Chain A
Amino acid sequence: MTKINCPSCGGEIPFRSSTSVFAVCPYCKSTVVRHDLDLELIGKMADLPEDMSPIQLMMSGRYKKKTFFVAGRIIVKYEDGYWNEWYLNFDDGSSGWLAEAGGDLAINFPVASGLKLEDRTIVKPGTNHKLDGKTFYVTDVKNMVCVGSEGELPFRGIEGRKSLNVDLSDRFGGFASIEFNEDDGVQAYVGEYVEFKDLNPKAFRVFHGWGRP
C-alpha cells in the first residue's frame, strides 16, 4: 500500500490498489489523480447521497476462493434512480466490480469485447452479443452520469462523468455490462448475480433490527 499526502489538507490518502489512478481524500473530500508518487489535485467531491447499502469501503469478502476488499465506489444516476458500482480489489492483484442496483447485486470482471465507441448504436435491447465466449442478451440500455465517488478508482470518477451503460443477461444467472465512455473508451464486464451473504462479507455496514445478512 502506498500512502501519499493530500495536496490540499496534507492527510494521508491510501492507495491500496496498484491499478487505482484516482482517489477521494477521506478527510477533505479533495479529488486527486495519481502520477506515480505525485498527486494532482483536480477538485472536490460533494457530499454523497445517503443510501442504505450494506456495502461500505474496506468491507472484505470472498468470491470463488479469492479474498477481496472494497477499495472504492462510484454512484451513478440514470433517469429512474441511482446505482452503486463498488470497486473490488482481490488478493491476487486482480480487480472487479460489484454492481448494486435496486437491491440486486452482480459481481463482474473486465473482459475484452472488441467493441468500439461507434458500436453503441448496434447494442440494442433484445440483441445478443458474445462476451467471454458466452452469449448474452441485452436487457437494458441507459444513459448514466456519475454523481459522486469515494475511495480509489481505476478511472477519474468525477461528478458529471457521462456514459452509456448496457446491461446483459443469459439463461444461467450470468450478468454482463458494457460501458461506452467518450474519454475511457469501451469496457465490457462479465460476471454473475450474487446474494450478499454468498460474498462472505466482513466489516459490512450493520443495520440494527434487520437481522443478519
Chain B
Amino acid sequence: MNTRSSRREKQIRPVVKSFNCPSCGATLNITAVGRTISVVCKSCRATLDATDPNFAILEHNAKMRTVKPAIPVGTRGTLGGKMWECIGFMQRGDSYGYRWHEYLLYNPYHGYRWLFEFDGHWTWFKRSYDLPDLSGTDVKYKGMSYKLFTKGSSEVFYVEGEFYWRVKAGDKSNVKDFVAPPYTISYEKSHDEEIWTHGQYLEPDRIKTAFKLKDNFFPEPVGIAPNQPSPHKQQAKEAFKYFFFAAVFIIGVHLFRSATALQKEVFRMNEVRVFPTRYGERKTLDDKVLRTETFEILKKKSNLQMQASANVNNSWIWIDPLLVNEETGKGIPMPVEVSYYYGYSGGERWSEGGHNKSRVIQNVPPGRYYLSIKTQVGGNVSRDVNYQLRLVQDVPVFSNLVISLILLLIYPIFKLMRRQSFEVQRWSTSDYSPYSED
C-alpha cells in the first residue's frame, strides 16, 4: 500500500473517541462510542471499563497468551453490500482442546455481526430476534428444522479490541449449536442472559476478498464444518432430476415402440409331439430333426421373438431350432428349455418353471427362412410331450427398458452415496450424529 492510499484510508476512518490507557499510557480508540462497554488495551492487554469516564481497569491480562487474528482488529471490509469494521476478536475453546475464533463486526447503521471461524471454516452470525421453538428434539426456526450438533461449555482464552459487554478472559458460558446447512443456530447462556444467534456458512474466499487479507495468517479450511453446505446434496438432487427426465423419455420411447411395433407372426407350429428319449436307445440325433416349411421375414431389420410352450409336468423339453436362411444357408441357433416342476414338501406346495418360454434375437436380416428343430425331453416323462412354436417379428422388449433404467440409476446412486458419506463425515465430530451406531 502506498502512502497516498494509506492517507486516504485514515481520512475515511474518523476516530470517534481517543484516550490513554490508565494502565500503560498507550493511546487507544473506541469506534462504537456509547455502545462499547469494555476495551482491551492493545499494548498491555488490560481490560478497561468504557462506560467509566476514567476507563477503570477491570482486569490485568498480562499473562494472556497472544493469538493472532486472521482479520486484524481495525480492518474494514464490505460484505453483503455493507461496510463492516472488525472491532473485536476473541479466541474461545472447550475442555476437549477445540479452539475457535470470533470476530465482532460493527457498522453504526446496521449494528453488530459476528464472524465465527473454526478449522478455516467461516460462519456469519446475526442475533436472532425470533425465539426458536424448542418443544421437539430439533429446534424449529422460521419453518426450518435444526439438528443439535454440539452442546457444552466454552471459555474465553484471548480477547482484543472493544465489546458491547463486559468481556473477560476465563469467562465461561454454555453453548449449544444446531445445524441445517448452510445455516446454524447457536444458543449461548452466560450469567443470566440467554442469546440466540443465527448463522450462515460463508466461503473462506469471501472473507479473504472482503477484508483484503493476505495468505500468511489466513487459515486453510480443514475437514467438514457442521454447517458447511454439501456439494453433493445439490449434485445428487440434479442427478435424480436428470434421471427422472431421462426415464420419462425412455419410457416414452418404449411406449411408442410398443404402440408402433409390427408384432407380426411369421411362423406358427402347433401340437408337435415328441416321444421320450431313453438312455441306451440307439437313435441318432438326426432322427429327431424336424425341418419346417419355409416362411418369409419382411424386409425390415428388426428383432424376432420365439415363443415356445409345452405341456411339461415334472419334466423338461429342450427345443433347439436353427433358423436357417434358405439362400445363404446360414443358421442362427435359438435354443430354449421349457421345464415345469411341482410338488409338496415340508407342508408346503411348491412349483418351479412354467409352460411357456420365449427368447428374442436381434437384427434378423430379411429373407426366406426355415427352422431345423432338434428336441429332447427328460424328467418324469410317462407320456408324449406336445409343444408349440411361434415366431413373431418386431416385438417391444420390456427388459431393454428395465436395463436402461438400471444403467441410468448408477450415477444418481453414486451421487447419493457420496452425499451420504459427506454427511457421515460431517457428523463424525458430533455426539448427536444421526449416523452413529448407538
Contacts and interface: CB of A to CB of B under 8 A. Distances in A.
Q: Do A and B bind each other?
A: yes
Interface of A: 49-54, 77, 80-82, 102-105, 125, 137, 139-140, 169-173, 175, 192-193, 195-197, 207-213
24 contacts: A50-B34, A51-B34, A51-B35, A52-B33, A52-B108, A53-B34, A53-B108, A54-B109, A80-B37, A81-B51, A81-B164, A82-B35, A104-B127, A104-B129, A169-B129, A169-B130, A170-B131, A171-B132, A172-B130, A196-B111, A207-B14, A209-B11, A209-B83, A211-B82
Taking each of A50, A54, A81, which has the highest tally of chain B beta carbons within 10 Å of its own beta carbon? Answer: A81
Given A102-B164, A169-B129, A208-B14, A49 B34 contact: yes
Contacts of B127: 104
A167 to B, nearest CB: 11
Given A49-B34, A51-B34, A125-B194, A173 B110 contact: no
A56 to B, nearest CB: 12
Given A81-B165, A139-B194, A196-B109, 8 more contacts: A52-B35, A53-B108, A103-B106, A169-B129, A170-B130, A209-B12, A209-B13, A210-B109
B83 A210 contact: yes
B293 interface: no
Contacts of B107: 210-211
Interface string B112-129: 100000000000000101
A209 B127 CA distance: 25
Contact of B131 (A51, A137, A210): A137
Contacts of A169: 129-131
A51 B35 CA distance: 7
A213 B83 CA distance: 10
Nearest to A105: B111
Contact of B112 (A102, A171, A196): A102
A51 B12 CA distance: 19
B222 interface: no
B172 interface: no
B133 A171 contact: yes
B109 A207 contact: yes
Of B13, B127, B129, the most chain A CB neighbours within 10 A belong to B129
Interface string B285-321: 0000000000000000000000000000000000000
Among B33, B35, B83, find the residue whose CB has the most chain A CB atoms closer than 10 A.
B35
Contacts of B166: 80
A140 B164 CA distance: 16
Contacts of B13: 209
Contacts of B51: 77, 81-82
B17 interface: yes
Contacts of A213: 109-110
Interface residues of B, number: 35
Interface of B: 11-14, 16-17, 31-35, 37, 51, 78, 82-83, 106-112, 127, 129-133, 164-166, 192-194
Nearest to A195: B110
Contacts of A53: 34, 108
Closest 5 CB pairs of A and B: A51-B34, A103-B111, A209-B12, A193-B129, A213-B109
B41 to A, nearest CB: 19
Contacts of A193: 129
B131 A171 contact: yes
A169 B127 CA distance: 13
Nearest to B11: A209
Contacts of A173: 129-130
Contacts of A125: 192, 194
A179 B133 CA distance: 26
Contacts of B165: 80-81
Nearest to A83: B35
A196 B83 CA distance: 15
Contacts of B78: 211
Contacts of B34: 49-53, 82
B145 to A, nearest CB: 14
A103 B82 contact: no
A33 to B, nearest CB: 27
Nearest to B51: A81
A171 B35 contact: no
Contacts of B32: 52, 103
Contacts of B17: 50
A189 to B, nearest CB: 15
Nearest to B164: A102
A104 B34 CA distance: 13
B83 A102 contact: no
A8 B126 CA distance: 47
Nearest to B83: A211
A129 to B, nearest CB: 13
A102 B129 contact: no
Contacts of B192: 125
A103 B112 contact: yes
B186 to A, nearest CB: 16
Contacts of B111: 102-105, 196
A81 B112 CA distance: 15
B146 to A, nearest CB: 14
A148 to B, nearest CB: 11
B159 to A, nearest CB: 16
A209 B112 CA distance: 17
B218 to A, nearest CB: 24
